[in-house]
Amino acid sequence: MEEQRLIFKHIDAPGYTHDIDCYLKHGGYEQLKKAVTMKPEDICAEVTASGVRGRGGAGFPAGVKWKFLDRKSGKPIYLICNADESEPGTFKDRQIIHKDPHQLIEGMLCSAFAIQAQLAFIYIRGEFFEGYRILEEAIEEARAKNLLGDNILGSGYSCDIIVHRGAGAYICGEETGLIESLEGNRANPRIKPPYFPAALGLYQCPTIVNNVETLCDVKHIIEMGGEAFSKIGTPGNTGTRIWCVSGHVQKPGYYEFPCAALTLGELIHDVCGGLQPGRKLKAVIPGGSSSKILRADERFKGKLKDGTEFDWGIEDIPMDFDSLAAVGSMSGSGGVIIMDDSTDMVEALANINYFYAHESCGQCTPCREGVPWMRKVTARMCAGEAREEDADLLNDIADQIAGRTICAFGEAAAWPVQSFIAKFKDEFVEKAKAQASRRKEGKPAATETTLI
Amino acid sequence: MELKPETLEKIDRLVPRYPVKRSAALPLCHLVQEDLGYLSDEAIEWIAERLELEPINIAEIVTFYPMLRREPTGEYHVRVCRTLPCALGGAYQTCRRLEEALNVKVGHTSEDGKVTLEFVECHADCGKAPVVMVGETEYTEVGLEAADSMAEKIKNGTL
Ligand SMILES: Cc1cc2nc3c(=O)[nH]c(=O)nc-3n(C[C@H](O)[C@H](O)[C@H](O)COP(=O)(O)O)c2cc1C
Ligand code: SF4
Ligand code: FES
């Protein structure tokens, strides 16, 4: 299957470099030139008409978010690009930052103009040392050509961009944690309401936070018009998505397709070259490590939003927002993690729990205490002390976290546990039984682990 | 404590760009750490004073963000990504190989101060697992053989 690239059109193209001359040669900044002659509210209307949904995880329509912006407060308005890219399994924003930074800058400036922000930030994860340098350089290149800074292209509109580096904390990806971090504090997320960024964001001013890919989409929406953009994909699932495929496939990588243009099976087999020879598909985590796991031999039945009934095997699931939500998971950040039949599910969950236990900010008791507890249980199970009742215990703890915390990290940490137990409980119980019988035979109960 | 003139220059350029000074706290921590290798008490106090804050305001972020360090690392700072996609690609085996070849346990610095070996979480390059960072340079698809040659180069100082 051929990719249909929009955002990644130039990425990895022979001879394409990340400097401004190359970008301009390929039609760069034409949309910014157009944008600054438009009425800001007309750009917002195009973005709404495009139906573009956020690419950072939650899939919230960008146009609707922009409408929530408090424009009457009299306070400055800020735009923040979320370039924290830290949901395990996600690696698309990195490509844009490294290989086509001006696309992001142009998308940001168009968006900033639309919401009338005069200062924008790129919050980039601290580990992107090179990405940081590339962005800083790109911003100075754009400034030198009056595409950024004071009185952009003589339009009377001014906007600067500050690149702000994070320092290794996953919770900075959560937008209110990000804002706290940008204010110079610990990244403790804020409670919503009242702290919806569009009303009370950075410095208590109205703020729009969007993902890197979402902001790039805005450039293309201006280019082709919201209406034309909305025709890519299916209604409610518009535009393209960059699927980041990792794990047990022959050709892992990033692949861009219109929403719903292919099924999960096509992505695995036709695009990613299938599994290693002799291996069978066991499970897929379709939208970053916090999305709920899908089991390869499940049947997914139900009704879509528009009322059509579906009855799918895992490989029939269309790759788009609504279909993945309909099967009980989500497209999230586009990180598709493939696991074949060599994968030990208890170890895989232990690995995921380790991550979330490490990353809880510690504000809410259920999250601060519960997530490390889940990690301890799965670590103990892998170390030879599994108990048959552990699966229920894990599920119990997870149920007491989800829905009881300040931010959605609680769900992000609970969903893997809940879904692994719902789908693979047999393996958790089996692990305890196998360890007990090895112990009886006088052998060490634990076996060598590979994922933890 | 003495900061390089370039660092001071960067700091002076950066601070006034923010609408609120305190926002420069994390960037200053990065700049000072890059200059000195870690953030000592003295460094924390210096940053606080530069931003008209109390030392505790800086100390609380230094203790929150994993990349900020209270102690220097070894000459080589090796970070192995261990999150699920990299683990599925063999990251734990890679790390074990590095531990053996470099004679240091993960989470520690070798006795001669040459290498600090750490696990880190997803570096957003999971399509090329396993991912290992040495200093600010990223290495991808670091399987067992690549780990051996990486360790060799670290030992003879050519990496
Ligand atoms: C725990 C947690 C981590 C998140 N990490 C990221 C991230 O790394 N990058 C990102 O763009 N959004 C992340 N998000 C989503 C943001 O909170 C926010 O919804 C998003 O940046 C909005 O942009 P969008 O509407 O363009 O997707 C995270 C959310 C949560 C709850
Ligand atoms: S849910 Fe967890 S990460 Fe989110 S605010 Fe509460 S303690 Fe912090
Ligand atoms: S899991 Fe290692 S780079 Fe993502």
pLDDT exceeds 90 at position B120: yes
Across the interface, whether the CB atoms of A167 and B65 are under 8 A apart is answered yes
Q: Residue A8 domain-assigned?
A: no
pLDDT exceeds 90 at position A369: yes
Instruction: Give the helix/strand (H/E) hosting A238.
Output: strand A237-238
Please tell me whether residues A128 and A173 are part of one structural domain.
yes
Count of helix runs (H) and strand runs (E) in chain A? 16, 13
Regarding the beta carbon of A288 and ligand 1, being less than 6 Å apart is answered no
What is residue A299's three-state secondary structure?
A: strand
pLDDT exceeds 90 at position A93: yes
Number of domains in chain A: 3
Instruction: Give the pLDDT confidence score for residue A1 in this predicted structure.
Output: 86
Q: Are A163 and A135 in contact (CB under 8 A)?
A: yes
pLDDT tier for residue B1 given thresholds of 50, 70 and 90: confident
Ligand 1, atom 13, lies closest to the CA of: A173
Distance from CA of B1 to the nearest CA of A (A): 23
Beta bridge partners of A283: A295, A339
Question: pTM of the full predicted structure?
Answer: 0.97
Q: Are B119 and B107 in contact (CB under 8 A)?
A: yes
Instruction: Give the pLDDT confidence score for residue A97 in this predicted structure.
Output: 98
Q: What is the mean pLDDT of chain A?
A: 97
What is the CATH number for A436? 1.20.1440.230
Q: Residue A398 domain-assigned?
A: yes
Q: Residue A137 domain-assigned?
A: yes
Among A86, A170, A188, which residue has the most ligand 2 atoms within 8 Å of its CB, making it the best to mutate? A188
pLDDT exceeds 90 at position A305: no
Q: Which two tokens stand for residue A67?
A: 């409408």
pLDDT exceeds 90 at position B126: yes
Instruction: Give the helix/strand (H/E) hosting A237.
Output: strand A237-238
Q: Rounded CA gap, A281 and A272, in Å? A: 13
pLDDT tier for residue A354 given thresholds of 50, 70 and 90: very high
Quote the domain boundaries for residue A408: 345-440
Q: Residue A2 domain-assigned?
A: no
What is the CATH number for A49? 3.40.50.11540
**Chain CA centroid to CA B64, Å:** 14
Please tell me whether residues A147 and A202 are part of one structural domain.
yes
Instruction: Give the pLDDT confidence score for residue A67 in this predicted structure.
Output: 96
Digit-coded pLDDT (tens) for A190-249: 999 999 999 999 999 999 999 999 999 999 999 999 999 999 999 999 999 999 999 999
Instruction: Give the pLDDT confidence score for residue A53 in this predicted structure.
Output: 98
Residues in chain B: 159
Residues 6+ positions from A224 with CB-CB distance below 8 Å = none
Average pLDDT for residues A380-390, to the nearest whole number? Answer: 98
Regarding the beta carbon of B159 and ligand 3, being less than 6 Å apart is answered no
Please tell me whether residues A30 and A82 are part of one structural domain.
yes
Residue B79's closest chain A neighbor by CA?
A127
Residues 6+ positions from A86 with CB-CB distance below 8 Å = A125, A170, A172, A173, B121, B122, B124
Q: What is the mean pLDDT of chain B?
A: 97
Average pLDDT for residues B87-108, to the nearest whole number? Answer: 97
- Give B-chain residues touching A244 at CB under 8 angstroms: 126-127
Please tell me whether residues A281 and A418 are part of one structural domain.
no
Of the residues A340, A356, A388, the one at which a domain ends: A340
Across the interface, whether the CB atoms of A451 and B87 are under 8 A apart is answered yes
Regarding the beta carbon of A412 and ligand 1, being less than 6 Å apart is answered yes
Q: Are B72 and B116 in contact (CB under 8 A)?
A: no
Across the interface, whether the CB atoms of A168 and B125 are under 8 A apart is answered no
Q: Rounded CA gap, A354 and A407, in Å? A: 19
Q: What percent of chain B has pLDDT over 70?
A: 100
Q: Rounded CA gap, A88 and A86, in Å? A: 6
Which of B20, B51, B85 faces A89 most closely, judged by CB atoms? B85
Q: Are B115 and B109 in contact (CB under 8 A)?
A: yes
C-alpha A92 – ligand 1 centre gap (Å):
14
Q: Residue A446 domain-assigned?
A: no
Instruction: Give the pLDDT confidence score for residue A306 in this predicted structure.
Output: 85
Q: Residue A121 domain-assigned?
A: yes
Regarding the beta carbon of A58 and ligand 1, being less than 6 Å apart is answered yes
Burial B104-132 (b: 16+ CB within 10 A, else e): bebeebbeeebbbbbbbbbbbbbbbbbbb
Across the interface, whether the CB atoms of A181 and B124 are under 8 A apart is answered no
Please tell me whether residues A177 and A195 are part of one structural domain.
yes
Please tell me whether residues A255 and A366 are part of one structural domain.
no
Q: Rounded CA gap, A102 and A105, in Å? A: 5
Across the interface, whether the CB atoms of B88 and A339 are under 8 A apart is answered yes
Of the residues A292, A318, A340, the one at which a domain ends: A340
Please tell me whether residues A180 and A36 are part of one structural domain.
yes
CA nearest A120: which of B32, B19, B110, B62? B19
Digit-coded pLDDT (tens) for B6-46: 999 999 999 999 999 999 999 999 999 999 999 999 999 99
Burial of A446 (0-12, 13-18, 19+ CB in 10 A): middle
Average pLDDT for residues A333-349, to the nearest whole number? Answer: 98
Residue B17's closest chain A neighbor by CA?
A162
Q: Residue A9 domain-assigned?
A: no
Instruction: Give the pLDDT confidence score for residue A228 in this predicted structure.
Output: 98
Alpha helix segments (H runs only) across chain B: 5-14, 25-36, 41-50, 55-62, 84-88, 91-102, 144-155
Amino acid type, A35: A
Please tell me whether residues A316 and A367 are part of one structural domain.
no
SS3 content of chain A, % helix, strand, coil (to 5): 45, 15, 40
Please tell me whether residues A327 and A372 are part of one structural domain.
no
Instruction: Give the helix/strand (H/E) hosting A436.
Output: helix A409-440
Q: Residue A361 domain-assigned?
A: yes
Please tell me whether residues A163 and A98 are part of one structural domain.
yes
Of the residues A297, A312, A340, the one at which a domain ends: A340
- Give B-chain residues touching A183 at CB under 8 angstroms: 20, 22-23
What is residue A207's three-state secondary structure?
A: strand
Q: Rounded CA gap, A376 and A308, in Å? A: 43
